């Protein structure tokens, strides 16, 4: 149990990521914590290194308080603010039960504006717009709240210096969203109230299964709780919000599986906010699959898959912290013969743009010379990254070339075009690791994951160890083979008869 119950930026960040994480950190049994993964340790190291790099390159004079801690750091910060220091690095400010340690405090007018140095992009980007990241925003809002309580705030527009070197303003009172507009100030106020209730133990949170769990040090403890409760979030895509809306009447997977869906309909809608009638039918069927030990996956609709003599199973590896796509891997198969399979890879042998471009160009040429062929990949990630690579290296191919490649009927996104659209599985999620594992495929590596491969790549960059590079290549090849295993299984799935 953690005896320090003050509200910090880290706890607000964690609450945005997972509503149960602060409860576990404060009141969970420390003996049940998993070891921090090498990938998370890498994130910490890279974040610290990036921050030091940014500070080291500043031309503006600043006061460095990083050598102090606790009350001494706070006293030094307050004194520096009273003296009107133009820029303060690694200060500490407190007010009431709020504690903030912003990377930067910059004097503006008669007060100060807080900023953080982030090793990620400063905003969330979509195809239509950009919005502030809520987990960054609540931290900046906390610093601003403290400054306002101290009577030292310069404005309500704190900022992020992101991995691209851009300063991203976070206007706390600017409205975002079209259907349900929100401001970062409102998000912060709501998060602050929720965290206060958790700290006071007037609100009890519960675990929920999500992709965020994989890197959390409470993953084993929460997984045990969820399995013991037969929790609804163990149903693919049901999630925390829908679980919370449903659990009073349907508290477990077993209850949902045994339910008569018609009992929960109100005309064409369900009695559960955020859960439509078709969605409830889908979750009900998934619950039935989950509780039946003899259940098997099936097709919900006919799937038209290419019938090409040559098939390419495609997977890439990216280091998002270095913003480099360093590996394009393919398993090639001819005439459906497993004995014909061969792995073809294009690896960027250093961190230069020239090496990244060379690997991309070679992979592009490989596909062109392999045509006619079908191409299978898992999720939209490959298309997204190749579009970005095309923008960086436009003479390799054009944007219309990329669009034509991925819009071709011979190119199939198995996750979105097939698995989510036309199949059901007795699994708790639809990741390639889960589905291929269910089908009996085993990765050669004992800890296969995209996050782990990023950490391996970091070690390879630092050491040049060919054994690490081979580990990455084998992992990538296994991902490609797993995609082929899934494709073959989909082709053999029965079509569920319509009732």
pLDDT of residue 498: 62
What number of residues does the chain have?
499
* Res. 2 pLDDT band, cuts 50 70 90: low
The whole-number average pLDDT for the span 154-158 is 94
Q: How far apart, in whole angstroms, are the C-alpha atoms of residue 176 and residue 131?
A: 7
Q: Which of 34-43, 167-176, 406-415 is least confident?
A: 34-43
Q: What are phi and psi of 250, to 5 degrees?
A: -130, 85
CATH number of 230-295: 1.10.150
Q: Is the pLDDT of residue 1 over 60?
A: no
Q: Tell me if 310 sits within 8 A of 374, measured CB to CB.
A: yes
The chain-wide mean pLDDT, for the chain, equals 94
In the predicted model, is pLDDT for residue 281 greater than 70? yes
Whether residue 168 is predicted with pLDDT greater than 70 in this model: the reply is yes
Range 438-474 burial, b when 16+ CB lie within 10 A, else e: eeebebeeeebbbebbbbbbbbbbeeeeeebbebbbe
Q: Is 374 helix (H, G, I), strand (E, B) or coil?
A: strand
Handedness of CA 453, 454, 457, 458 (dihedral sign): negative
Angle of the 450-463 helix axis to the 466-492 helix axis, nearest 10: 160
pLDDT (0 to 100) of residue 499: 54
Sign for the CA dihedral angle at 4, 5, 9, 12 comes to: positive
Query: Would you say residue 43 has pLDDT above 70?
Result: yes
Residue 149 CB-density burial (10 A; 0-12 exposed, 13-18 middle, 19+ buried): middle
Whether 320 shows a pLDDT value over 90: the answer reads: no
Q: Is there a common fold for 230-295 and 310-492?
A: no
Is residue 59 very low, low, confident or very high in pLDDT (cuts 50, 70, 90)?
A: confident
**Per-residue pLDDT, 3:** 64
Q: What gap in Å lies between CA 343 and CA 473, rounded to an integer?
A: 9
Q: Determine the average pLDDT of the residues in 280-295.
A: 96
3-state DSSP: the chain helix, strand, coil percent, rounded to 5?
45, 20, 35
Q: Which CATH class is domain 310-492?
A: alpha beta
What's the confidence (pLDDT) of residue 266?
87
Question: 468-490, pLDDT tens digit by residue?
Answer: 999 999 999 999 999 999 999 99
pLDDT tens digit sequence for 335-351: 998 889 999 999 999 99
In the chain, where the domains are located? 7-200, 230-295, 310-492
pLDDT exceeds 90 at position 60 = no
DSSP string across 31-83: GGPPPPPHHHHHHHHHHHHHHHHHHHT--S--EE-TT--HHHHHHHHHHHHHT
Q: Are 102 and 114 in contact, with CB atoms under 8 Å apart?
A: yes
Pick the range with the lowest mean pLDDT from 170-179, 241-250, 292-301. 170-179
Hey, which CATH number is domain 7-200, 3.40.50, 3.90.320, 3.40.30, 3.30.1490? 3.90.320
Return the structure tokens found at 262. 């018609």
Measured distance CA(316)–CA(360) in Å, rounded = 10
Out of 12-21, 86-95, 205-214, least confident range: 205-214
Q: Is 482 exposed, middle or buried (0-12, 13-18, 19+ CB in 10 A)?
A: buried
CB 12 within 8 A of CB 138: yes
Residue % of the chain over a pLDDT of 90: 84
Distances (CA, A) of 388 to 191, 401, 406: 34, 13, 14
Q: Give ∠ CA 415-417-422 in degrees, rounded to 5.
A: 90
CA distance to 308, 314, 430, per residue, from 330 (Å): 16, 5, 21
C-alpha distances out from residue 113 to 88, 144, 199, 229, 460, Å? 10, 7, 28, 46, 40
Q: What percent of the chain has pLDDT over 70?
A: 98
Across-strand partners of 98? 7, 95
Whether omega before 372 lies within 30 degrees of 0, making that bond cis, reads yes
Phi and psi torsions of 304, nearest 5° = -90, 105
d(C-alpha 199, C-alpha 27), whole Å? 9
pLDDT at 127 over 80: no
pLDDT at residue 497 in the model? 67
Per DSSP bridges, beta strands 87-89 and 104-108 are antiparallel
Residue 107: in which H helix or E strand, if any? strand 104-108
Q: How big is the CA angle at 418 (ends 223 and 432), to the nearest 5 degrees? A: 35
Antiparallel, parallel or unpaired: β 310-319 and 374-377: parallel
Q: For residue 429, is pLDDT > 90?
A: yes
pTM of the model: 0.88
Q: How many H helices and E strands in the chain?
A: 17, 22
Contact criterion met (CB below 8 Å) for 135 and 212? no
């Amino acid at each position: 149990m953690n005896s320090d119950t003050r509200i910090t930026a880290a706890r607000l960040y964690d609450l945005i990521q997972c509503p149960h994480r602060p409860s576990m950190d404060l009141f969970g049994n420390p003996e049940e914590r998993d070891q921090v993964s090498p990938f998370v340790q890498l994130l910490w190291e890279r974040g610290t290194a990036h921050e030091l790099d940014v500070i080291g390159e500043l031309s503006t004079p600043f006061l460095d308080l990083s050598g102090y801690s606790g009350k001494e750091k706070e006293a030094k910060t307050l004194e520096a603010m009273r003296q009107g220091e133009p820029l303060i690095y690694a200060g500490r400010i407190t007010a009431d039960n709020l504690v903030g340690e912003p990377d930067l405090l910059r004097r503006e007018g008669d007060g100060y504006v807080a900023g953080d140095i982030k090793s990620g992009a400063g905003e969330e980007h979509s195809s239509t717009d950009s919005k502030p990241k809520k987990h960054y925003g609540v931290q900046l809002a906390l610093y601003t709240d403290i400054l306002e309580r101290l009577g030292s705030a310069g404005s309500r527009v704190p900022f992020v210096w992101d991995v691209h070197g851009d300063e991203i303003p976070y206007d706390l009172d600017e409205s975002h969203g079209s259907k349900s507009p929100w401001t970062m100030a409102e998000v912060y106020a709501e998060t602050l109230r929720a965290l206060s209730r958790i700290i006071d133990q007037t609100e009890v949170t519960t675990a929920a299964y999500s992709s965020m769990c994989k890197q959390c040090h409470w993953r084993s403890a929460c997984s045990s709780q969820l399995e013991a409760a037969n929790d609804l979030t163990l149903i693919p895509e049901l999630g925390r919000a829908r679980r919370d809306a449903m659990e009073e009447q349907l508290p477990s997977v077993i209850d949902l599986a045994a339910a008569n869906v018609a009992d929960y309909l109100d005309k064409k809608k369900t009695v559960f906010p955020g859960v439509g009638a078709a969605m409830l039918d889908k979750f009900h069927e998934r619950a039935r699959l989950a509780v039946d030990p003899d259940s098997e996956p099936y097709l919900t609709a006919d799937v038209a898959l290419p019938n090409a003599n040559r098939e390419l199973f495609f997977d890439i590896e990216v280091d998002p912290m270095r913003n480099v796509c360093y590996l394009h891997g393919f398993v090639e198969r001819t005439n459906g013969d497993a004995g014909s399979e061969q792995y073809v890879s294009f690896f960027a042998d250093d961190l230069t743009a020239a090496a990244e471009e060379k690997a991309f160009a070679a992979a592009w040429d490989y596909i062109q010379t392999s045509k006619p062929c079908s191409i299978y990949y898992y999720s939209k990630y490959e298309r997204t990254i190749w579009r970005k690579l095309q923008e960086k290296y436009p003479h390799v191919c054009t944007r219309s070339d990329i669009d034509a490649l991925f819009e071709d009927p011979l190119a199939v996104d198995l996750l979105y075009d097939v698995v989510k659209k036309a199949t059901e599985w007795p699994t708790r999620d639809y990741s390639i690791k889960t589905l291929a594992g269910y089908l009996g495929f085993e990765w050669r590596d004992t800890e296969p994951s995209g996050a782990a491969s990023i950490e391996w790549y970091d070690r390879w960059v630092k050491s040049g160890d060919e054994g690490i590079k081979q580990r990455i290549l084998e992992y990538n090849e296994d991902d490609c083979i797993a995609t082929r295993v899934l494709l073959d299984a989909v082709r053999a799935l029965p079509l569920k008869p319509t009732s």
